[in-house]
Structure 1
């Protein structure tokens, strides 16, 4: 395996070298970097031209300029990274650090959200093949996949930001609007749950009534501008998650795992109240430490409760602990929403990665950061969900028709065990390839998204470099995206060996 990894790394370095060489040649021959100064009528035009020639090294042969860039990149391996400067003399490495942090923040969130949603939807549509739910999801996925990014971004800005900001100033939901929302959601949920006609009517009717009552109640008490979850909701939702996770993975018959996850929720409930003073004004390092502590607590609880299912109990208790930590984090964010609206009356922004000169506490600043991230993340997630759900559905259908799946059913195993332990694991192999490639592709695809939403990320740096015929910012973009593609491909290959031991040979 070590020899294989080293061989792949050597090939990857060769691919990156050839790619960087071709891209550098294409960029420096794509136009005239002095065009704007040649057309200038300024008295010091010649001085400006000479200054730019010196800054960009235009008086040197192209191979010397490329070699200088290549040696600067090689310095990254021993702590002397030098990516040069752009045409104005700004250090490209500092530009890259700022741009990459914005883009990777956007792409990482969108990728993980798309993976989770897409795989879950794909599994459900495979299990419910040719049902009404399957047809609706198929239609929506093809719709999302074919949406032009710039057009979908404009729609999100109009309905997800501008009109929402108008509504949140005086949030009112009429009875007719609540009824329409309840009927639509009830219809969708009954299609997802399926079953005989009585079960569908009960599911749809109960959902519709609940949604109508909830929307009217929230409007009456002014919840939209001063929301709160509270400990009861946090604990109940976390307990429901623990029960659902146990039912999905091991089945509720495994009492040790069930008691382990519920005990984790109980410990989390105690810590919810104990940590209130600390969480009043935390920082990210403190939250990271608390998250790690939550995982450790879950592992310990699973270890003592697990018995013969110790491994499963520890893993699922850790997942439950992470979920409850996320619910606690969300509870504090929701509680801070009212104060955030006072500082920023139009909360959902359409341009930029942050609000200039925003002054608020930790939770209000986090809300500002999140609302800026919301629309572009939704856009990238919708596009990727279509791909993941289609590939997951196709892979699951192919796997579920294999002989070993039929054998598992004939042995009397439950359908949950057949799907989660036999079909899904093998169906993950082609999905792993898509995930690996999509992460690197999203960084490149974020160029359009960042342009529409005014993000100063890698897309803006790449676009400005091309417009100005400035190779160093473009090469910095290539360095990140190319390296990401290579690393993710290597990770995918290693994941193949983990998922299917036959590939290790």
Structure 2
């Protein structure tokens, strides 16, 4: 197992290194002058030369990259052009909002999607299956921002007009010292994220369960007189978990890079909102930092998924 994890870590480091080279070169050749962005349009050329020298922008690209890589390995991602602040703290300060959104959303969509998928698969073509299929169809058809606006209108604006507050419109508050206030502010973002994603997990669970429930070992378990609960949840769900874990790892990694739409709709100052602001202002150091953070989450999620494969499925051999 140690050798297996070490090989995955080595590959992950190679991926991150390749990503850093690609992103750095991409922004190096992109149009625009960071010195002009910092100093303004009316700055004299002498000031621009001084700024480029201070930032190391007058050096060859390979020297710039080696300097950037050495600093990044120490946790220094440079300075924001707009804010004139270190990039790493700016990103780190945004992670709690994104992490709160993703963790809560994952819990809600798993609690909704997997039971619906199981109920649909237990009696295909029945009433529960039709209801589950309807939920899946509606969830997959609804754009996230539309669902967010609908929830805002029905659960915030209408009660507000009636003279009371059912749920806040959004905005992130810290978990401590009041976890209940934190959860209250996150309910609308959680359900906006979860209702769309739960449809994907309901469909995936149903498809996998239908395939598994036709296997010989399931018929053998029923022939032995095991209860339907044990057949479904002990034997059927174990084989269904592998594709679910794969999908979950990819979804969490993607969302941790910034759930851009939901953060914008509900005013959550997370990583996604920071990325949007940085793209609009052409703040390249922050964009590079956000891309590398997203890549880090993806490779870590893939390592965790690979390890879980070995734990969940004895047929997987560790090499």
Query: TM-score by structure 2 length?
Result: 0.89
Name the residue aligned to 1:487: 300
Question: 2:242 & 2:63 partners in 1: Cα distance?
Answer: 44
Report the equivalent of 1:349: 168
1:57-107 residue CA offsets vs partner (Å, 9 max, x unmatched): 4333333332222112222xxxxx211111032011111111111111111
Q: C-alpha distance in 2, partners of 1:501/1:39?
A: 60
Q: Match for 2:117 among 119, 122, 137?
A: 122
Q: CA contact under 8 A between 2:35 and 2:52: conserved in structure 1?
A: no
Q: What does residue 69 of structure 1 align with?
A: 68
Q: CA deviation at 1:35?
A: 9.1
- 2:155 aligned to 156, 160, 164, which one? 160
Whether the 8 Å contact between 2:257 and 2:291 is mirrored in structure 1 is no
Alignment root-mean-square deviation, CA: 2.7
Specify whether residues 457 and 29 from structure 1 end up closer, same or farther in structure 2 by C-alpha distance, changes over 3 A only.
farther
Which stretches of structure 1, 4 residues or longer, exceed 4 Å deviation after superposition? 33-42, 44-52, 362-365
Counterpart selection for 1:473 from 282, 286, 291: 286
Query: Per-residue CA shift, 1:93-149, capped at 9, x if unaligned?
Result: 111111111111111111122123211221111113211221122122222123222
Structure 1 residue runs without a partner (length 5+): 76-80, 170-345, 356-361
Alpha carbons of 1:437 and 1:40: their partners in 2 closer, same or farther (altered >3 Å)? closer
What is the alpha-carbon distance in structure 2 between the residues aligned to residue 395 and residue 404 of structure 1? Answer: 15
Match of 1:29 in 2: 29
User: TM-score, normalising length from structure 1?
Assistant: 0.58
**Bigger-Rg structure (1/2):** 1
Q: How does 1:382-421 map to 2 (within 5 A)?
A: 382-421=195-234
Determine the C-alpha separation between the residues in 2 that align with 1:456 and 1:85.
19
| Pair 1:437 & 2:250 matched | yes
* Pair 1:497 & 2:310 matched: yes
Give the secondary structure class of the aligned counterpart of 1:480: helix
Q: 5+ unaligned residues in a row in structure 2: which ranges? A: none
Using the alignment, how far apart are the partners of 2:227 and 2:217 within structure 1?
A: 14
In 2, Cα distance between the equivalents of 1:401 and 1:431?
Answer: 19
C-alpha contact (below 8 Å) 1:38/1:45 kept by paired residues: no
Is the aligned partner of 1:137 residue 2:132?
yes
Q: 1:120-269 maps to which residues of 2 (within 5 A)?
A: 120-167=115-162, 169=164
Per the alignment, do residues 127 and 374 of structure 1 end up closer, same or farther by CA in structure 2, a change over 3 Å counting? same
